[in-house]
Copies of this chain bind each other. A is one copy, B any other.
Amino acid sequence: MRRRLLALSLSLAFAAAHADEGMWMPSQLPDIARQLKAAGFKGQPRDLAELAKPPMNAVVKVGGASGAFVSGDGLVLTNHHVAFGVIQYNSGKSADGSDRDLIRDGYIAADRAAELPANPDYRVLVTTGFDRITDRILADAKGKQGRGYFDAVDAATKAAVAECEREPGYRCSVANMYYGTDFYLVRQLELRDVRLVYAPPNDIGNYGGEVDNFVWPRHAGDFTLLRAYIGKDGKPADYAPDNVPYVPPAHLQVSTRNVKEGDFAMLAGYPGVTFRHRMASEFANQVQWQLPARVALYQRMIDTIESTTGKNEAARVSYASQVRSLKNSLKRAQGELDGLRRSDAVTVRKADEAAMVAWLDQQPDAATARTDIAAAQAVLDQGMTTRERDQLLGVIASQTQLLRSAITLQRLAYERGKPDAQRESGYQQRDAVLITGQLKQVQRRYAPAVEKALLTELLTQYQALPARQHVAEFDAVFGTTPAQLKTRLDALYAGTRLGDESVRLATMQADAATLAASGDTLLKAAATLQPAILRLDEENKTSAGELLRLRPAYMRALIGFRQSQGRAVYPDANSTLRVSYGRISAMDPRDGVHYRPLTTVQGIVEKHTGAEPFNAPQPLRDAITKGDFGSTAEPSLGNASAGAQTVDFLTNLDTTGGNSGSPVLDAQGRLIGLNFDSNWEAVSASWMFDPRYKRAIHVDMRYMRWLLAKVYPAPHLLKEMNLPAE
């Protein structure tokens, strides 16, 4: 009895620790109705279950991220940074010939006629179907292995998408849930006429800029209002002046209530990718090798570039963007590593997996499952035997300019030998513009000495690897000793004309035969490397197919084990609609420091320097000084009589990249916030959710209401959203 009580209390503690973790498929919410209600949700969980019904169908995919309808006339709320391209597209010369800078000034469309069309490729996607088609996708794959399994799933996916897209105006995709366990056909109405309605000045929308990125406390008004239009026939259409506003099946109501610490909050959106349900060995590899190796490798690459460019100003400029990007990646990798170590992720995941296996061994089908899991582990183990090489070759192919161009040009010629539809994605006709751009960009990003120094660094590391990691073609091209490497690189870069843009662009048109006959040293090297590259691609697809076949055994065991703990399992994020719930939460980032969960306009004044990114516009500062906050003030903050005007707030909601623009709802489903960032301490949440540090950052809808009411007024939009004028 004591043991059972102990077990119960442990499992309750465990459940409590994980209460706010989860990117749930809406269809799962009825299954977790009890915990959702216990957390404070006042509605019916089953009302949230269907993607194609209210309120979930008010949540849209927009500009590659998330957003929501906020009026019956197709008004869409998303982040300023998600709509940035639209704002930029409408800056410059305006219709009447005058210059305008909507990034700097913001924009308020006085009426529908003044709403400005977005760039033609900008989309709002409304989900209208979400159907489980696992059997159909796996029908042909059954009994197959490796590459065969991969190809069967790929073919069935393409067929399902093609069939679904037969109806014009829709875009379809197949979502893989639980790593190959389930497949869903997602059907989305594709709205192609999107217009800019209201954007705050960049100094509000992006207040704090890069300095505040990933930072709490935050003070950005990162929101923009767009409107979706359709043709007069009620069907999606390209922009046309006489299109009409799209009437969405549902829209969210912006809240007029107070919002304070501890309140229930819920968020819906399209998180991109997480790795939470990866195997314990993958966690260990990530923390013990992948991230430290990436940090070390990027650091050496940065050092190599910086010491080679040295005092050469032109070279420094050419490589500035690459160095900045490497530093950014390094910083993120270090942040992820620090976070996973802080959370002791490897130990926690390993103990959890061991407990799962112990549970599995008690189940009737344990033997089969253990066989599949062991086989998946073997595939992963096999991959790890060449991880150093794979990392280096990946970087060599992606972080060089001239060598990468040569490899691309050879591959292009090779793929051009196939019908367009069968070409590898990235080398089809529709990719030509992208490749041309890349080949042109080389001119501004290349210096021979730097590329040679970088390759010397990377290939010296490659040469030092044990024989089993070597690839014959690479050895043939670059030699196997530092001395050979130096000779070969000197020869390769002395004998190539690819440094000349016209030569690169002309070569893009050449067929395989012409290329084969080319005397250009780098093109010849790329020709030698190509069979290796194709072979490694093939091996990757084979592994991917095997993992697609084998991981479901692991996932089913995990789901069963969690069920035995009284917990449901959400699938790792894959850019499909998910729901997360939790509350408005303070945070203790480190000893002695406490972050309050709501910021106020006072912080805008404190941060203001008059220079970007802290250049609060005069009208905003005047309005703050005036202190006329009316119904948008939070009475529990600031001075007793007027309260304080909030700006942003912090929740413990479970988010990741792609959740930008996700609506944040209160217990009654009213819109209280707009997600736009997460905190630095949460970078590691893509692998592990640590409730101590995982937070999401939102624009308080009261700040948006105040801006629309008092600072950059748009009374007609407040009226359209059924909101008070002040």
A640 CB, min distance to chain B CBs, angstroms: 15
Q: Pick from A102-110, A153-161, A273-281, A594-602 the stretch touching chain B.
A: A594-602
Tell me, in angstroms, the Cα distance from A594 to B603 when the chains sit together.
13
A217 interface neighbour in B216, B217, B592, B599, Cβ under 8 Å: B592
Is A593 part of the contact surface with B, judged by Cβ < 8 Å?
A: yes
**Per-residue contact bits, chain A 311-340, to B (CB 8 Å; 1 contact, 0 not):** 100000000000000000000000000000
Is A219 part of the contact surface with B, judged by Cβ < 8 Å?
A: yes
Per assembly, the copies of the chain total 2
A196 CB, min distance to chain B CBs, angstroms: 31
Is A606 part of the contact surface with B, judged by Cβ < 8 Å?
A: yes
Is A591 part of the contact surface with B, judged by Cβ < 8 Å?
A: yes
Asked if residues A602 and B596 are in contact (CB atoms below 8 Å), the reply is: no
Tell me, in angstroms, the Cα distance from A664 to B429 when the chains sit together.
76
A634 CB, min distance to chain B CBs, angstroms: 13
Chain B contacts for A600, CB-based, 8 A? 591-592
Is A590 part of the contact surface with B, judged by Cβ < 8 Å?
A: yes
A692 CB, min distance to chain B CBs, angstroms: 12
Asked if residues B591 and A217 are in contact (CB atoms below 8 Å), the reply is: yes
Tell me, in angstroms, the Cα distance from A217 to B591 when the chains sit together.
7
Chain B contacts for A594, CB-based, 8 A? 593-596
Asked if residues A602 and B591 are in contact (CB atoms below 8 Å), the reply is: yes
A217 CB, min distance to chain B CBs, angstroms: 3
Asked if residues A217 and B593 are in contact (CB atoms below 8 Å), the reply is: yes
Asked if residues A591 and B219 are in contact (CB atoms below 8 Å), the reply is: yes
In this complex, what residue of B is CB-closest to A600?
Answer: B591
**Per-residue contact bits, chain A 429-458, to B (CB 8 Å; 1 contact, 0 not):** 000000000000000000000000000000
**Per-residue contact bits, chain A 217-253, to B (CB 8 Å; 1 contact, 0 not):** 1110000000000000000000000000000000000
Tell me, in angstroms, the Cα distance from A593 to B587 when the chains sit together.
10
Per the 8 Å Cβ criterion, residues 658-688 of A in contact with B are none
Per the 8 Å Cβ criterion, residues 600-622 of A in contact with B are 600, 602-603, 606-607
A593 interface neighbour in B311, B596, B598, Cβ under 8 Å: B596
Chain B contacts for A598, CB-based, 8 A? 592
Chain B contacts for A218, CB-based, 8 A? 592
In this complex, what residue of B is CB-closest to A603?
Answer: B591
A644 CB, min distance to chain B CBs, angstroms: 9
Tell me, in angstroms, the Cα distance from A576 to B598 when the chains sit together.
45
Chain B contacts for A596, CB-based, 8 A? 592-594
Tell me, in angstroms, the Cα distance from A607 to B595 when the chains sit together.
18
A642 CB, min distance to chain B CBs, angstroms: 16
A603 interface neighbour in B311, B592, B602, B606, Cβ under 8 Å: B592
A592 interface neighbour in B216, B591, B592, Cβ under 8 Å: B216
Tell me, in angstroms, the Cα distance from A596 to B600 when the chains sit together.
20
**Per-residue contact bits, chain A 577-595, to B (CB 8 Å; 1 contact, 0 not):** 0000000000000111111
Tally of contact residues, A, Cβ under 8 A: 19
A590 interface neighbour in B590, B591, B606, Cβ under 8 Å: B606
In this complex, what residue of B is CB-closest to A219?
Answer: B591
Tell me, in angstroms, the Cα distance from A600 to B588 when the chains sit together.
13
A589 CB, min distance to chain B CBs, angstroms: 9
Tell me, in angstroms, the Cα distance from A261 to B594 when the chains sit together.
15
A599 interface neighbour in B216, B591, B599, B602, Cβ under 8 Å: B591
Tell me, in angstroms, the Cα distance from A607 to B602 when the chains sit together.
30
In this complex, what residue of B is CB-closest to A597?
Answer: B592
In this complex, what residue of B is CB-closest to A342?
Answer: B606
Asked if residues A595 and B593 are in contact (CB atoms below 8 Å), the reply is: yes
In this complex, what residue of B is CB-closest to A606?
Answer: B590
Chain B contacts for A219, CB-based, 8 A? 591
Chain B contacts for A606, CB-based, 8 A? 590-591
Asked if residues A217 and B590 are in contact (CB atoms below 8 Å), the reply is: yes
Tell me, in angstroms, the Cα distance from A596 to B217 when the chains sit together.
16
Chain B contacts for A311, CB-based, 8 A? 311
Tell me, in angstroms, the Cα distance from A598 to B591 when the chains sit together.
9
Chain B contacts for A592, CB-based, 8 A? 216-218, 595-596, 598-600, 603
A285 CB, min distance to chain B CBs, angstroms: 23
Chain B contacts for A216, CB-based, 8 A? 592
Tell me, in angstroms, the Cα distance from A219 to B591 when the chains sit together.
9
Chain B contacts for A602, CB-based, 8 A? 591
Chain B contacts for A603, CB-based, 8 A? 590-592
Chain B contacts for A599, CB-based, 8 A? 591-592
Tell me, in angstroms, the Cα distance from A283 to B590 when the chains sit together.
38
A606 CB, min distance to chain B CBs, angstroms: 5
A331 CB, min distance to chain B CBs, angstroms: 15
Tell me, in angstroms, the Cα distance from A167 to B311 when the chains sit together.
66
In this complex, what residue of B is CB-closest to A592?
Answer: B217
Tell me, in angstroms, the Cα distance from A596 to B594 when the chains sit together.
7
Q: Which 8 A-B pairs have the closest CB atoms?
A: A217-B592, A591-B603, A594-B594, A592-B599, A591-B602, A592-B596, A590-B606, A591-B599
Of the A-B pairs whose beta carbons lie under 8 Å apart in the complex, a sample of 29, sorted by A's number, is A216-B592, A217-B590, A217-B591, A217-B592, A217-B593, A218-B592, A219-B591, A311-B311, A590-B603, A590-B606, A590-B607, A591-B599, A591-B600, A591-B602, A591-B603, A591-B606, A592-B595, A592-B596, A592-B598, A592-B599, A592-B600, A592-B603, A593-B593, A593-B594, A593-B595, A593-B596, A594-B594, A594-B595, A594-B596
> Known pairs A217-B592, A591-B606, A594-B595. 14 more at Cβ < 8 A?
A219-B591, A311-B311, A590-B603, A590-B606, A590-B607, A591-B599, A591-B600, A592-B595, A592-B596, A592-B600, A592-B603, A593-B593, A593-B594, A593-B596
